[in-house]
Structure 1
Amino acid sequence: MHRYLAIAALLLLAGCGHPAGVMTPVALRPGAPATSQVDMLVATTRQPSGNPATLFNGERSPKPYLTEIAVSIPPKRDPGTVQWPRRLPPNPDTDFAVTRVKQIDTISEGKTWFKQHVEDGHALVFVHGFNNKYEDSVFRLAQIVHDSRMRATPILFTWPSRASLFAYEYDKESTNYSRTALEQALRILARDPNVKDITILAHSMGTWLAMESLRQMGIRDGHVDPKIRDVILASPDIDIQVFAKQFVEMGSPHPKFTIFVSQDDRALAASSWITGRVQRLGAINPAEEPYRSRLEKAGITAIDLTKVKSGDSMNHGKFAESPQIVQLIGQRLMTGQTLTDSNVSLGEGVAAVIGGTARTVGTVAATTISAPLNAVEQPHTHHSPTDLGSTLTEDPESKPLTQ
């Protein structure tokens, strides 16, 4: 195990870090260049740090906390990037900076905040991945919301990650620790009359937490709340056979599922080593069998980002760091538009499996994908749990999903 962790550390280590403790609010300077602001509601199962510069640490809290946070984004920057300050306090002219922090003590206060910030009744719930500090997930969500230009109210669910390359097992157990809290947060949100629909966007290890919470909801109620319309799993760090069981056990009808995958994802390659060389959902080639047929039967849309280039040396954060992809999330998936009309143009290197049928998006795609994307959209159909179980895991004529 130690050998695997060492390999994972070498693969995951990237960048030179940034100053810790950026959560202390700073004031915007009068007459400074105009900045953009993202207001978000943050729910967490992390333990309070007692330090206003960090707010919460990576340890587990027996009760969840709510916080209202505003993040200022500088005017001159490249989409897909987070401008971390080189020194503290941050300079809002050039850096991402927190401008307001307010603790919310009751659910009623949280509902009031949502009513004041509602965007067309759409809610986005973001769940971060492995090796994240509280501030990492806050700034990442602010970047996604700003760069995607989405019209949705952003809600961050951040779970207790120790933000250490050697804490993979601790982080994974923290997702299990947090699944009921996320389920309860989704229920409260769904009961709010100001909410028309909810999109869940989860990344990496956070996809496990999202799936487990939806599975719990489905087991309790027989199905996921219908207001949870879309679930987007980016670089899902999930054993693919476990995902199939989670999908079935959440009941029917399902939300619409979209997964972003990439076969060159080095972080998922490390995760596969740690977990005993088990195939991760985020690293499959959705154009190959048996994945293609099984995705089609399950009504799951897979978008292959293998040929997409971004500033992420690990190829693990393409969904947020590629301007085209983050805009796809905000402009199309978040508004319920299809990915199968002729208006989609994401440039080179994106391949899509729409409802399991391989089509090209852009000009360069996997070798098995050749049909144009403007083909007629196939309707999204629901299947019974029994059908889906056999669809995703038990095809005697195909190789197992883990091969």
Structure 2
Amino acid sequence: MVTISLMDAQDCVCIRGTPAALVSLARRLSAVAALAAASLSGACAARPETGFLAPGAGIEAGAAAHTMLVATTRKRDEPPGTFFDGERASPLDFARIEVSVPARHKPGEIEWASTAPGDPKTDFVVRQAGYLEGEKAFVRALNAQLATRPRGSRKVLLFIHGYNTMFAEGLYRFAQLVHDAKSPAVPVLFTWASRGELTQYVYDTNSATTARDDLERTIRLIFASDAEQVNILAHSMGNWVTVEALRQIKISGDLPPIGKLGNLVLAAPDIDVDVFKSQMRRFGKPRKPFYIVLSKDDKALGASRFIAGGQERLGAESHTAELAELGAVVIDLSDVKATDSTNHDKFAQLAEIAPQLESTLAHGVHRRPGTGAAQEALGGSLEAIVSVPVQILGLPMKIIAQ
């Protein structure tokens, strides 16, 4: 039996165990520490723990407002301007929040306030906000937003955030995506009970798993609304709860009107590759392709892989041809320079080029004119799997599809 002491300026933790077990644990702790150091090196001085969602910001010239609907498994938080914390709650709760994006916003970024609640001239701030009491109120609010769009354009974009995400962080990231993409869809945020702490990976994993039924319920409510099309975007660990919820819907046999499903995008998915393949066997090959956005230099998923005993994560998968065979279109951002130190949030940079990227994907990689020698076959004939390097507004990527 061996004892290891882990010490810093404030704490001393003693761990007992066999040498082999302690070496394994020490390596995993080192991976988490490395991830923390990388994250903090590029982070703002303070994270938005309390008060950063205080409503009441004025209307600033040039600022843009986005009305976000929220469905959550988080517990309501008492401090003003916070709304929800990282603890789990039941039943499913709802809110409506209007976010203002400053005129001097830089695409791909979130202009965080240095102190709460922020300045609408320079920061992401909240104009109006309030809880919605129950499912019926949520659906009424959703249909009211859809009614402001013309028929044929009544779309919903559902976003599910990832690990280590406070409520304000998930909300403002989604607002950034909607704003940069100039999306006409009604934005709906599903936010599960992440504590927003790097050391809470296991808690967050269990929270995501616990939220499966509530995400399924949220998806069913949206499909039963007046929406004509429902698009789904998940990031990081949010992909785990998303794919699990969709799997539950498939198993139930009680399918929502599938014709309403638009694009399904899995960005930097923190899912064990073998688990994902087993999930896909349950789904079967989809009628229309879904999209996996990945980067082979994703440091956050590298740490996740180490914590998981070396099992490859879907968002850093190097065997992209295998994913294409499952029915996915893979968007490889490995050559894109990240704006965050962990290379985990590259997907946020896609929002600005969303219309051009959607047009490229709609034409299909086989049929894109002018690809010539840049188009390469992977693992078989050109008709099977192809990989096409693409640059859109200077953003280099590779699209792999069947």
TM range (shorter): 0.7 to 0.9
Where structure 2 has 5 or more consecutive residues not aligned to the other structure, the ranges are 1-24
The equivalent residue for 2:112 is 84
How far apart are the structure 1 equivalents of 2:356 and 2:65? Answer: 19
Deviation at 1:298, TM superposition (A): 2.1
The question of whether the paired residues in 2 share the 8 Å contact of 1:145 and 1:330 is answered with no
The equivalent residue for 1:167 is 200
TM-score, scaled to structure 1: 0.81
| Deviation digits for residues 271-328 of structure 1 (CA, Å, limit 9, x no counterpart) | 0000000011111235xxxx41x333322100110010131111000010x2xx2134
Where structure 1 has 5 or more consecutive residues not aligned to the other structure, the ranges are 346-350, 381-403
Residue identity (%): 34
The question of whether the paired residues in 2 share the 8 Å contact of 1:223 and 1:254 is answered with no
In our comparison, the structure showing a higher alpha carbon Rg is 2
The equivalent residue for 1:123 is 156
1:86-101 to structure 2, matched below 5 A, reads: 86-101=114-129
Change (3 A) 1:70 1:210: same
The question of whether the paired residues in 2 share the 8 Å contact of 1:203 and 1:234 is answered with yes
The equivalent residue for 2:247 is 215
Instruction: Report the secondary structure of 2:239's partner residue.
Output: helix
The question of whether the paired residues in 2 share the 8 Å contact of 1:59 and 1:161 is answered with yes
How far apart are the structure 2 equivalents of 1:279 and 1:200? Answer: 24
Q: Which of 332, 335, 352 is residue 327 of structure 1 equivalent to? A: 352
The equivalent residue for 2:274 is 241
Please, what is the CA RMSD of the aligned residues?
2.9
The question of whether the paired residues in 2 share the 8 Å contact of 1:299 and 1:355 is answered with no
How far apart are the structure 1 equivalents of 2:276 and 2:314? Answer: 8
Does residue 1:9 correspond to 2:57, yes or no? Answer: no
1:3-402 to structure 2, matched below 5 A, reads: 3-12=27-36, 13-14=39-40, 15=43, 16-21=45-50, 22-28=52-58, 32-118=60-146, 119=149, 120-192=153-225, 194-221=226-253, 225-226=257-258, 227-251=260-284, 253=286, 256-286=289-319, 291-292=320-321, 294-320=322-348, 322=349, 325-329=350-354, 332-333=357-358, 337-338=362-363, 340=365, 342=368, 356-362=385-391
Deviation at 1:53, TM superposition (A): 1.9
The question of whether the paired residues in 2 share the 8 Å contact of 1:228 and 1:255 is answered with no
How far apart are the structure 2 equivalents of 1:332 and 1:365? Answer: 12
Once the two structures are overlaid, the 10-residue window that deviates more, 266-275 or 295-304, is: 295-304
Change (3 A) 1:276 1:352: farther
Change (3 A) 1:229 1:365: closer
How far apart are the structure 2 equivalents of 1:9 and 1:3? Answer: 10
Q: Which runs of 4+ in 1 moved over 6 A?
A: 351-355, 363-366
Change (3 A) 1:61 1:355: farther
- Quick one: which amino acid aligns to residue 7 of structure 1? A
How far apart are the structure 2 equivalents of 1:238 and 1:334? Answer: 28
Change (3 A) 1:89 1:295: closer
- Quick one: which amino acid aligns to residue 70 of structure 2? V
Length, aligned pairs only: 355
Change (3 A) 1:9 1:316: same
How far apart are the structure 1 equivalents of 2:241 and 2:384? Answer: 24
Deviation at 1:24, TM superposition (A): 1.1
Deviation at 1:191, TM superposition (A): 1.2
TM-score, scaled to structure 2: 0.81
